[in-house]
């Protein structure tokens, strides 16, 4: 049985994962409208992945005898300066999510909830991968320095095709 404070913090993570999904959906839609088809495909897939994260939290809370709450989600931004600035926003958001996951780890340790501590490791690892992935995309954009975005977009399309959700 989950302690109330653990249930509350996991419910607040459900909202954050739902927002992540909508943020990337909004970025996908912007990219699609600007003609960045590959970037849009990558972001649509990433939005699905975030929804999957949200579902994992919902299932975990309910499986442990808690009540997963489906939250209201604030509206994400719909305009972005350019592709590089948009991916910098993705990175900043993922760093915020990493902090949030680390905070859950700290609370589980304080409360000696070793079951949730063990389960949440999945997301500790996930955040290492997500930050590395987005850092890699920003590195590519830095190399291109605003040139040949067609090539970048093709590359993103290939990456999206490989993503195994
Ligand atoms: Fe991007 O990992 Fe969940 O939020």
Q: What are the chain's domains?
A: 4-163 (1.20.1260.10)
Residue 165's pLDDT is: 47
- Give the model's pLDDT for residue 146: 83
**pLDDT for res 4:** 98
Ligand 1 contact, 49 CB (< 6 A): no
pLDDT (mean) for 124-132: 97
pTM of the model: 0.95
pLDDT digits (tens, 9 = 90+) for 80-125: 999 999 999 999 999 999 999 999 999 999 999 999 999 999 999 9
Angle at 131 between CA 59 and CA 112, to 5 degrees: 45
Measured from the Cα of 97, ligand 1's closest atom is: 4
| CA-proximal residue: ligand 1, atom 4 (nearest) | 17
Averaged pLDDT for residues 22-49:
98
Contacts of 45 (CB under 8 A, 6+ apart): 160, 163, 165
Question: Mean pLDDT over all residues of the chain?
Answer: 96
Task: Say yes or no to pLDDT of 150 above 80.
Answer: yes
Q: How far is the CA of 38 from the centre of ligand 1 (A)?
A: 20
State the distance from the centre of ligand 1 to the C-alpha of 54, rounded, in angstroms: 9
The reported pLDDT for the residue numbered 162 is 85
Instruction: Give residue-wise pLDDT tens across range 51-61.
Output: 999 999 999 99
User: For residue 97, how far is its CA from the centre of ligand 1 (angstroms)?
Assistant: 6
For 130, the enclosing helix (H) or strand (E) is helix 114-144
Q: How confident is the model at residue 164 (pLDDT cuts 50, 70, 90)?
A: low
Q: Could you tell me the distance, in angstroms and rounded to a whole number, from the CA of residue 158 to the centre of ligand 1?
A: 21
**91 Cα to the center of ligand 1, angstroms:** 11
d(CA 3, CA 67): 11
Q: Ligand 1, from 17, 56, 163, 165: best to mutate by most atoms within 8 Å of Cβ?
A: 17
Q: Which atom of ligand 1 is nearest to the CA of 20?
A: 4
Q: What percent of the chain has pLDDT over 70?
A: 98
């Amino acid at each position: 049985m989950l302690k109330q404070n653990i249930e509350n913090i996991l419910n607040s993570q459900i909202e954050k994962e739902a927002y992540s999904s909508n943020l990337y959906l909004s970025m996908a839609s912007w990219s699609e409208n600007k003609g960045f088809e590959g970037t849009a495909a990558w972001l649509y897939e990433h939005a699905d992945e975030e929804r999957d994260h949200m579902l994992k939290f919902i299932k975990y809370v309910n499986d442990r005898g808690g009540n997963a709450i489906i939250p209201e989600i604030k509206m994400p931004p719909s305009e972005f300066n350019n592709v590089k600035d948009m991916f910098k926003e993705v990175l900043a958001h993922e760093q915020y999510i990493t902090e949030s996951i680390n905070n859950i780890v700290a609370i589980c340790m304080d409360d000696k909830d070793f079951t949730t501590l063990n389960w949440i490791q999945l997301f500790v690892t996930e955040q290492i991968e997500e930050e590395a992935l987005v850092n890699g995309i920003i590195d590519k954009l830095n190399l291109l320095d605003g040139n040949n975005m067609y090539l970048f977009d093709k590359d993103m399309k290939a990456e999206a095709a490989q993503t195994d959700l």
